[in-house]
Chain A
């Protein structure tokens, strides 16, 4: 099993570079940089870290086809791959529907749009011209003047069953959303793997990476409080409804969405019961985290991507969990 570290755009750039270097030295396999609208940008984070590390995998992630044009995206990822040959992969997702709406973008027909995006980018990386009458993008023969070294893998992040099924057939892998219950993780993996098996996908079983929200520190209670805020932010998405239901916890999803969109994150966090932390994430002291991580390991994820909340010191504290994960 591979171990990755996720960055969500909330961390200052100087800390991003420092933490990335520390985790590379500690033996982590990959760094995933997740695009959140309005926050620090994933391509810049990935490029900055690519120049300051030497071994670790680099994955710009959660790039939305509704906001990033395929030609520009193909250029960006290929350019990072030149900086870090053999280390770069890529991950796309629809994006948060409410944030897309705020940006004046309607994310219609995501299954087709995501599939077309993957196909267009692969052709662009091959150096050939692309002609595509797509639902969202129409391409009339653009081609890249350079090509990335080697074949770059594309992952799809989603909570939607149809997108996950498409990804199982078209993409190299999937990224399970952060904040999923273990039950949701199993269900989402099955969507992709069963679709791949049914289609006899040439690439075989899709790789499954799972984003795990993690907060730890000497003060376990403080870490759990931090995690509630993180989960409240995640639950701004209507696509989290099924996952929330799977926990069986009494959570007023609508009220949380409304409160987060008013940017009242503390108030939204207070709406979550304490049990939500253990249902959707890994948080507390190191021992509490080890117990909960074991639950996610039992799911059978290929690559555990830890998105660690807190300041730089708390993130480095979480590094101790790497040794635990390597030992199991």
Chain B
């Protein structure tokens, strides 16, 4: 039975104490990685990563979705290289365009997103590998940078579309598929990747209780505020009014946003726990996904379900 490795994902909501408790348990249970997402208002994933590295000994720690629209490629390379040195090779990172809504609140208009991301990916990979690197993006003109103490690490591109998957292949980095993608949409992204590309897929875990379904719908609502996910949402054929979700999230009304996400969305865009979960993971392995990073949720039942799944999938 071929299964992908199972990783955990944090989104900066958890207190430092909770992060350590879950990270240590995940390592003991056999998880391959812990990924922490950069959200523009929550806890800094870099700080949490340093904390996890100090408390664990084997597990890989990744920073997910650093955006070049907030982070200069040189500062990203400095941060990641220093973290990699601290973690003695246990560190990975992904770069993504970021969420246009959050970025606009931070005063940033996303222009030439794909090109800026591609050039930034190449620059960060080059800098952390120890090369003097020239860079020009929509944000930066004619920069030449170098790290004095480079420490290489695995770099991924955050992928929300087949076009971004093709970019991951062009730039020779790993691919990190966003949470909230339907399985058919994941397959269309994978078709753009080469066989050698490392692939991590993010997913929300729905343990099947009403509370868990509500929690997943809320997370999907928050995720679907992102215009870059429009094609994925519309392709599912569930009649989801994504623009109303985006407007509700922008207005800070998550309850309203959640009401636009139907119950069926939890089945379509998340991993359902139960007898079918292992089958789904097998399918994911078969189509080319090497690692699945699950978002545990906040209630105890979901956390237990996630840890059980990690143990079941342990090689």
Which positions in A face B, CB cutoff 8 Å? 9-10, 12-13, 37-41, 43-45, 47-48, 51-52, 67-69, 71-72, 75-76, 78-80, 82-83, 102-105, 134, 137-146
Contact = CB atoms under 8 A, between A and B. Distances in A.
A10 B149 CA distance: 8
A47 B51 contact: yes
B172 to A, nearest CB: 24
Interface stretch (B104-112, B234-242, B280-288, B301-309): B104-112
Contacts of A103: 72, 74, 140, 143, 145
21 contacts: A13-B85, A41-B75, A43-B79, A44-B50, A44-B79, A45-B82, A67-B72, A68-B75, A69-B71, A72-B38, A75-B44, A79-B16, A83-B51, A102-B143, A103-B74, A103-B143, A104-B142, A137-B106, A140-B104, A142-B40, A142-B102
A75 B43 contact: yes
A40 B48 contact: no
Contacts of B48: 79
Nearest to A11: B149
A142 B44 contact: no
B41 A144 contact: yes
A159 B40 CA distance: 32
Interface in B265-289: none
Given A102-B143, A142-B41, A40 B47 contact: no
Nearest to A80: B47
Q: Which of B51, B82, B136, B143 has the most CB of A within 10 A?
A: B82
Nearest to A48: B50
A72 B86 contact: no
Given A13-B85, A47-B51, A72 B71 contact: yes
Ranked 10 nearest A-B pairs via Cβ: A104-B143, A138-B107, A47-B50, A79-B47, A104-B140, A79-B44, A44-B82, A41-B78, A76-B44, A47-B47
A264 B246 CA distance: 53
Contacts of B106: 69, 71, 137, 139-140, 142
Contacts of A52: 54
A142 B50 contact: no
B83 A44 contact: yes
B46 interface: yes
B105 A105 contact: no
B46 A146 contact: no
B42 interface: yes
A43 B46 contact: yes
Given A51-B54, A103-B143, A145-B42, A38 B148 contact: yes
A173 B86 CA distance: 31
Contacts of B148: 10, 38-39
A45 B149 CA distance: 14
Contacts of A144: 41-42
B140 A76 contact: no
Interface of B: 12-13, 15-16, 38, 40-44, 46-48, 50-51, 53-55, 70-72, 74-75, 78-79, 81-83, 85-86, 102, 104-107, 135-136, 140-149
A79 B12 CA distance: 10
Nearest to B83: A44
Contacts of A69: 70-71, 106
Contact of B70 (A43, A47, A71, A145): A71
Given A78-B43, A145-B13, 7 more contacts: A37-B74, A37-B78, A48-B86, A69-B71, A69-B106, A72-B44, A140-B107
Contacts of B141: 104
Contacts of A71: 40-41, 70, 106
A105 B146 CA distance: 15
Contacts of B54: 48, 51-52
B43 A79 contact: yes
Q: Which of A41, A52, A82 has the most CB of B within 10 A?
A: A41
B44 A13 contact: no
A140 B82 CA distance: 32
A79 B136 CA distance: 31
B70 A67 contact: no
A12 B13 CA distance: 31
A146 B40 contact: no
A145 B41 contact: yes
A47 B48 CA distance: 8
B72 to A, nearest CB: 5
Contact of A38 (B40, B53, B78): B78
Contacts of A47: 46-47, 50-51
A82 to B, nearest CB: 5
A78 B15 CA distance: 12
Contact of A41 (B82, B135, B142): B82
A13 B143 contact: no
B47 A139 contact: no
B173 to A, nearest CB: 21
Nearest to B139: A104
A40 B85 contact: yes
Nearest to B15: A82
Contacts of B142: 104
A83 B16 contact: yes
Contacts of B55: 51
A82 B47 CA distance: 10
A320 B190 CA distance: 60
Nearest to B150: A38
B170 to A, nearest CB: 23
B102 A44 contact: no
